[in-house]
Structure 1
Amino acid sequence: MSAPQSLAVRINLLDWRAEQREYKRKRFIGQLVGAAVATVVVVGVLPVIYYDHLISAQQARNNYLQQQIATADKQLGEIRELKKTRENLVNRMQVIGALQKSRSAIVHYFDQLTATIPDGVYLTALDESGDTTTLNGVAESNARVSQYMTNLDNSAWFTNPRLIVIKRDDSNGQRRADFTLKVDSTSPEQTKRAAPGDAADKGQAS
C-alpha cells in the first residue's frame, strides 16, 4: 500500500471514531436528560398522587362521619319526640289522677261533713272559698255547736274550726241558736305530715 492510501485510511478511521464518540456523548446526555426527567416525575408527580390519595381517603372519612352525624341527629330527634310524648302522657296521667283524687276527696269531704253533725244541729247553708268552708246552721243549744266544732276538729278531713257568730233565737216559742262557723278542709295525708300523733287520733275519731 502506498503512503497516500495509508493516510486516507487513517483519516477515515479518525472520522469514524469521532462520530462514535459524538454518538456516545449524545446518548449519555440523552440518558442524563431522561434520568432528570424521571427524577422530576418521581419527585414532583408521585407526591401529588400520594397527597391526592390522602385527600380522597380523608374526604371519604368525612363523608362517613357526616352520614353518622346525620343518623345520630335523626335518632336524637326521635328520642326528643319520644320524651315529649312521654311527658305529655305523664301530664295527662297526672291530670287524670288529680281529677280522680279530687273527686274522691269531694266524696270523703261531704261524707265527713255529714258524719260530724251531732244530733240537734242542722245546716242551713254552706259556702266554699278555697280551702275554707263557711257553715251556717241552727242548733238546739250552744253546747251542740261546741260539740259540732269538736267533731270537725277530730276529723281527718277538717281542721281549725272557728266560731264566727252565734245568736240565741227564742222566737215561735222555740229555743235555738243560729250560728256561723268556718273550718278549713284538709286530707289525712296532710294531717299526718303536719302532726302524726294528732292525725292518728283524728283518724280513729272519724
Structure 2
Amino acid sequence: MTIEINLLPWREEQRQRRSKRFYVALVLVALVGLGGGYGATWYYDQQLVAQQERHRLIRDRIAQLDRDIRAVSDYEAQIATLKRRIGVFQRLQAERPQTVHVFNALAASLEEGVHYANLVRQGDRLRLTGLAEDNRRVSDQLRSLEASPVFDVPVLSEVESTGERRRFNLSVGQHMPAARKKEVAP
C-alpha cells in the first residue's frame, strides 16, 4: 500500500501564513517607524520651543541690563555734576575770607581824596576804577596799594580828567596768605 501525502496545500497555507506575518510585521515596522519619526519630530520641536524660550529670556535680561546701564550712566553724570557743584561751593566758601581780607586791605590802603567807583575781580586780578582830586592822589594811591602785603605792584592803565577830578583805571594782583592757600587747595 502506498500512502500518498499531498504537501502542497500545507505548503501553500504555510506560505500564506508567512506572507501574512511578513505583511503584519511590515505594517508594524512602518507604524513603529512613523511613531518614532513623529516622536523624534515632537522631541526636536520641544527642544526648539525650549531654546526659543531661553533666547527670549536672554533678550529680556539683556534689555534689563541695558536699562540698568543707562540708569547707572545717568547716575554717574548726576554725580559728576554734583561734584562740580560741590567743588564750586567749596571754592566759594574758601574764597569768602579772602574776599573780606581783600576788601579790608583795600579800605586800609585807601588814601584821602580817592574814591573807588568800580571793582571787578577776575581770578587773582582786581580792576579798579576810581576818582581822585588830582594826579598826586592817584600816585599816592598806587604807592599805598604797592605797600600793602595783600597786593602786587599796581598797573595804571588810564587817567582821565573830568573837570576838577581825575578818573583812573588800574589793575593789581592779589596774594593769598600762605595759611589761606592751604584751606582753598582742593
CA distance in 2, matches of 1:148, 1:98: 31
CA distance in 1, matches of 2:80, 2:59: 31
Structure 2: which amino acid aligns with 1:182?
N
Once the two structures are TM-superposed, the CA of residue 27 in structure 1 deviates from its matched residue by 0.8
* Contact 1:153 1:160 (8 Å CA) reproduced: no
TM-score (norm 1): 0.61
Structure 2: which amino acid aligns with 1:25?
S
Could you tell me which runs of 5 or more consecutive residues in structure 1 were left unpaired when the two chains were aligned: 170-177, 190-206
TM-score (norm 2): 0.66
Which has more helix, going by share of residues? 1
2:131 equivalent among 118, 133, 136? 136
Once the two structures are TM-superposed, the CA of residue 168 in structure 1 deviates from its matched residue by 11
- Give the secondary structure class of the aligned counterpart of 2:159: strand
Q: Is 1:126 the equivalent of 2:117?
A: yes
Q: Is 1:73 the equivalent of 2:66?
A: yes
Once the two structures are TM-superposed, the CA of residue 22 in structure 1 deviates from its matched residue by 0.6
Q: Is 1:45 the equivalent of 2:32?
A: no
CA distance in 2, matches of 1:130, 1:188: 13
2:79 matched residue in structure 1: 86
Q: Is 1:17 the equivalent of 2:8?
A: no
2:52 equivalent among 48, 54, 59? 59
CA distance in 2, matches of 1:103, 1:181: 27
Q: Which of these two proteins has the greater Rg computed from alpha carbons?
A: 1
Could you tell me which runs of 5 or more consecutive residues in structure 2 were left unpaired when the two chains were aligned: 177-186
CA distance in 1, matches of 2:128, 2:57: 69
Once the two structures are TM-superposed, the CA of residue 98 in structure 1 deviates from its matched residue by 4.9
CA distance in 1, matches of 2:29, 2:8: 31
Distance 1:164 1:63, change over 3 A: same
Q: Is 1:164 the equivalent of 2:159?
A: yes
* Contact 1:134 1:183 (8 Å CA) reproduced: yes
* Contact 1:136 1:179 (8 Å CA) reproduced: yes
* Contact 1:149 1:162 (8 Å CA) reproduced: no
Distance 1:163 1:55, change over 3 A: same
* Contact 1:164 1:180 (8 Å CA) reproduced: yes
